């Protein structure tokens, strides 16, 4: 009987705790008094890794790209990206995806990350191409290969991979997935 | 002599400025080193494959010593933009913004207006989470089928950026093997949200990008 009472008390406490947590998370009442008013204006924009760093000139042009919206980027930036690509690799013909300079830069200039809603999500895993970006993806090697590797991926072998193949801490299988801070 | 020292000092600043540009880490003068600077964006299927995970990292290259002092800014909103019609215009947004010691999340919801200006979608609050402190166990909140985290994490990005800059600068002709991870031992401030895919529309693919937006 005593044990029974204790477990009732324990369960009630647990239940109360759960209620408190969920109230807190719904945030209705505490948030009602908070001020979220005002207009918020774009400062930075990013989807695919390293695009602004690699393809946009230093200084004001980087700020301009960061405050552009993706639907307007293609028209404004494809030719800028193509000039930069050919400056990086003057021997560019096509890449391992069969893309011409205009096609590759046309894709990259609109800075959005394509993500598949079913199945594997990865920048590139040998099979799937641009279906998302997972934490362990070696995105830099993919971009280097597409920029320097030529049609068969074998050109400029000392420029197509940086030989840093993984993060310096292991990721976790469950939320929040990223490793603890150093 | 004094002048020479100053010039040398300035050159070092310029060189480190060059070296510390990354995936998008500190990529542009207007945002470098402040809460608006996005370093990386990730979008991947969750442990529960019915869910999608979005990660937006800001304020890169934080040393362990600097991480405890790094903070989210109440005037800077992180906005995850989702296009599910293929026109590169956002159909849904997930907004995250700090108030006191919590990060508040809104959406996924249709934005009031698309483009560079946003207001917080206060009628679409999804939940909130206490901001995790440096060195503490991560605090995770769940609400409406979603999971939330905000706080310092190891920077998941890896790249021999130093050698890449040497190649661009003409002082090297290729990468080293093994390379050196410029981002080893550094941290970022992460905003992480896991969302049921059913809340992202019915398309088979989505286009995703992140923005930071500052209160005017």
CB-based contact B129:B139 (threshold 8 Å): yes
Q: How far is B2 from chain A (nearest CA, A)?
A: 28
A15-25 average pLDDT score: 42
CB contact under 8 A, B204 and A116: yes
Q: Among the listed ranges A59-68, A100-109, B74-83, which one has the minimum average pLDDT value?
A: A59-68
3-state secondary structure (DSSP) of residue B100: coil
Over 90: is that where the pLDDT of A4 sits?
no
CB-based contact B161:B19 (threshold 8 Å): yes
Pairing of strands B205-215, B117-118: unpaired
Q: What token pair was written down for A93?
A: 């013909």
CB < 8 Å from A in window 62-121 of B: 62, 64, 67, 76-77, 79, 81, 83, 87-89, 97, 99, 104, 114-120
CB contact under 8 A, B160 and A182: no
pTM: 0.87
Beta bridge partner(s), residue B56: B41, B191
CB-based contact B53:B179 (threshold 8 Å): no
For chain B, the structural domain boundaries read: 21-159+187-214
CB contact under 8 A, B119 and A60: no
pLDDT at B13: 34
Taking 50 as the pLDDT cut, the residues of chain B under it are 1-21
Q: What is the mean pLDDT of chain B?
A: 90
pLDDT (tens digit per residue) in A111-156 = 999 999 999 999 999 999 999 999 999 999 999 999 999 999 999 9
pLDDT at B27: 65
CB-based contact B162:A147 (threshold 8 Å): no
| H/E run at residue B195 | strand B187-196
Over 90: is that where the pLDDT of A58 sits?
no
CB-based contact A61:A83 (threshold 8 Å): no
A86-114 average pLDDT score: 97
- Using only the alpha carbons of chain A, give its radius of gyration: 24
A151-165 average pLDDT score: 97
Over 50: is that where the pLDDT of A11 sits?
no
Q: What token pair was written down for B92?
A: 């849904």
Give percent of chain A above pLDDT 70.
82
């Amino acid at each position: 009987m005593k044990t029974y009472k204790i477990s009732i008390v324990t369960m009630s406490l647990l239940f109360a705790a759960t209620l408190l947590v969920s109230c807190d998370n719904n945030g209705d009442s505490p948030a009602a008094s908070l001020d979220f008013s005002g207009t918020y204006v774009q400062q930075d924009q990013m989807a695919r890794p390293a695009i602004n760093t690699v393809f946009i000139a230093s200084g004001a042009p980087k700020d301009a790209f960061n405050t552009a919206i993706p639907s307007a980027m293609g028209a404004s930036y494809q030719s800028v990206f193509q000039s930069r690509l050919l400056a990086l690799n003057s021997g560019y013909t096509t890449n391992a995806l069969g893309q011409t300079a205009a096609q590759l830069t046309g894709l990259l200039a609109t800075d959005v990350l394509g993500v598949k809603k079913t199945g594997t999500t990865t920048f590139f895993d040998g099979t799937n191409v641009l279906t998302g970006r997972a934490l362990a993806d070696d995105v830099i090697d993919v971009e280097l290969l597409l920029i320097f590797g030529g049609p068969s991926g074998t050109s400029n072998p000392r420029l197509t991979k940086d030989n840093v193949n993984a993060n310096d801490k292991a990721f976790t299988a469950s939320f929040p997935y990223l490793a603890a801070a150093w | 002599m004094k002048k020479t020292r100053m010039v040398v000092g300035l050159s070092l600043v310029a060189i480190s400025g060059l070296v510390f540009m990354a995936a998008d880490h500190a990529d542009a003068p207007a945002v470098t080193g402040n809460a608006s600077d996005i370093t990386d964006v990730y979008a991947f299927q969750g442990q529960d494959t019915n869910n999608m995970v979005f990660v937006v990292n800001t304020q890169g290259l934080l040393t362990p010593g600097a991480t405890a002092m790094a903070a989210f800014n109440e005037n800077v909103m992180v906005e995850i933009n989702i296009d599910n019609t293929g026109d590169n215009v956002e159909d849904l947004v997930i907004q995250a913004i700090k108030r006191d010691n919590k990060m508040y999340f809104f959406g996924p919801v249709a934005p009031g207006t698309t483009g560079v200006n946003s207001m917080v979608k206060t009628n679409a609050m999804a939940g909130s989470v206490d901001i995790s402190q440096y060195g503490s166990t991560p605090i995770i909140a769940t609400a409406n089928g979603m999971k939330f985290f905000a706080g310092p994490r190891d920077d998941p990005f890896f790249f021999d950026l130093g050698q890449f800059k040497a190649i661009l600068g003409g002082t090297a002709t290729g990468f080293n093997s093994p390379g050196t991870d410029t981002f080893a031992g550094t941290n970022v401030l992460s905003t992480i949200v896991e969302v049921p895919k059913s809340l992202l529309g019915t398309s088979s693919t989505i286009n995703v990008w992140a923005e930071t937006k500052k209160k005017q």
